Chains A and B, each alone.
Chain A
């Protein structure tokens, strides 16, 4: 029956939503349901044909209430399919948005696939349009931050810092960084006592851990 495929798509969306709510893999989206979406679009196409045919008939036969009913059913099925598709896509793009914000924007635009921080992120789960969307959204965010709002760090931490200096542990090799207080060589599992504002970005990117 019409609408069954759309129902499957929505169930899939619900599952995705539940997973992200439970806090599992924030970085991961399930695979894009290409086949289902295609199937639904095909269904809409055939419904459109039906509707066109019925409308022609209606023009010749104004008072036929029965044809009206058929027409209404076809229209409703199309509406339903449209709603399901849009809801599915909106949920996914919202998750992509939040991923871009969490990851600080610019890392995405440079390289979607092979950034160390995003090695867990597999861009093959996205449809082609979604990949484009992700790239452009990240671009927008970068522009926003480097443009008029460059004074404010939009993706900075919201909690006020408790100390000026903090202890950090290095989680991943990150090479050398230079600060006012000298050069640090960030080798895995070493510990440093550094100024928080110097390393905040590195903490966010997952290189360092505050202890």
Chain B
């Protein structure tokens, strides 16, 4: 999760739908027509690294800011990534879900999203999913290491395709640890 973490940077590049709350001149290039202003209520998809600040920082309005919250530059619209459809699919069967096809950086993005909006429900779903899928990942990682290296069964190859990047690192670490553990037991 560091500054130099390549997966984190990639996740930050994911585009989210959002809506502008102000008329802004000179930002037309975001929409694909440079030189033109961007109009209020324009909907477009912007990468997360740009939106996450714009959605929080508001234009300071003068005296009346005490009365009402300053409106942020852009408003993030609920993305497809965390639509109720997806959350329901996770709840109903986390292990059979093809997470990689939803987004290769699902966990990282969900984490960021939940932090931005203090989304309790999302983080709860995420925790349950990690628990459930973690066990399955563990099962696969152990069973592979039993038959040396390349004897991946078809079943587990298919499952591995569905992991997102974060889960892949879990899988790799588990696999390596199991092997080391077995080596140690033999030596003893």
**Chain A contacts to B: CB under 8 angstroms:** 1-3, 7, 10-11, 13-14, 17, 21, 63, 65-66, 68-70, 72-73, 76-77, 79-80, 83-84, 86-87, 90-91
Listed from nearest, the 3 A-B pairs whose CB atoms lie closest are A65-B59, A87-B4, A90-B4
| Cross-interface CB contact of A72 among B26, B30, B73, cutoff 8 Å | B73
Main secondary structure of the interface of A (DSSP, over half): helix
**Contact flags (1/0) for B1-22 with A, using CB distance below 8 Å?**
0011111011011000000001
Residues of B within 8 A of A91 (CB): 4, 6
How many residues of chain B get a CB closer than 8 Å to chain A's CBs? 29
Residues of A within 8 A of B10 (CB): 10-11, 14
**Chain B contacts to A: CB under 8 angstroms:** 3-7, 9-10, 12-13, 22-27, 29-30, 47, 49-50, 53-54, 57, 59-62, 73, 172
B184 shortest CB reach to chain A, Å:
13
B94 shortest CB reach to chain A, Å:
26
- How far is B54's CA from A73's CA once the two chains are assembled, in angstroms? 8
Q: Check A7/B13 contact, CB under 8 A, given A65-B60, A69-B54, A77-B50.
A: yes
- 30 A-B pairs in the complex with CB atoms less than 8 angstroms apart: A1-B29, A1-B30, A3-B49, A10-B6, A10-B9, A10-B13, A11-B10, A14-B6, A14-B10, A65-B60, A65-B61, A66-B22, A66-B24, A66-B25, A66-B59, A69-B24, A69-B59, A70-B25, A72-B53, A72-B73, A73-B27, A73-B50, A76-B50, A76-B54, A80-B12, A80-B49, A83-B9, A87-B3, A87-B5, A91-B6
Residue of B nearest to A50 (CB): B26
Residue of A nearest to B3 (CB): A83
Residue of A nearest to B20 (CB): A69
- How far is B29's CA from A111's CA once the two chains are assembled, in angstroms? 49
A11 shortest CB reach to chain B, Å:
7
- How far is B47's CA from A83's CA once the two chains are assembled, in angstroms? 15
Residues of B within 8 A of A80 (CB): 12, 49-50
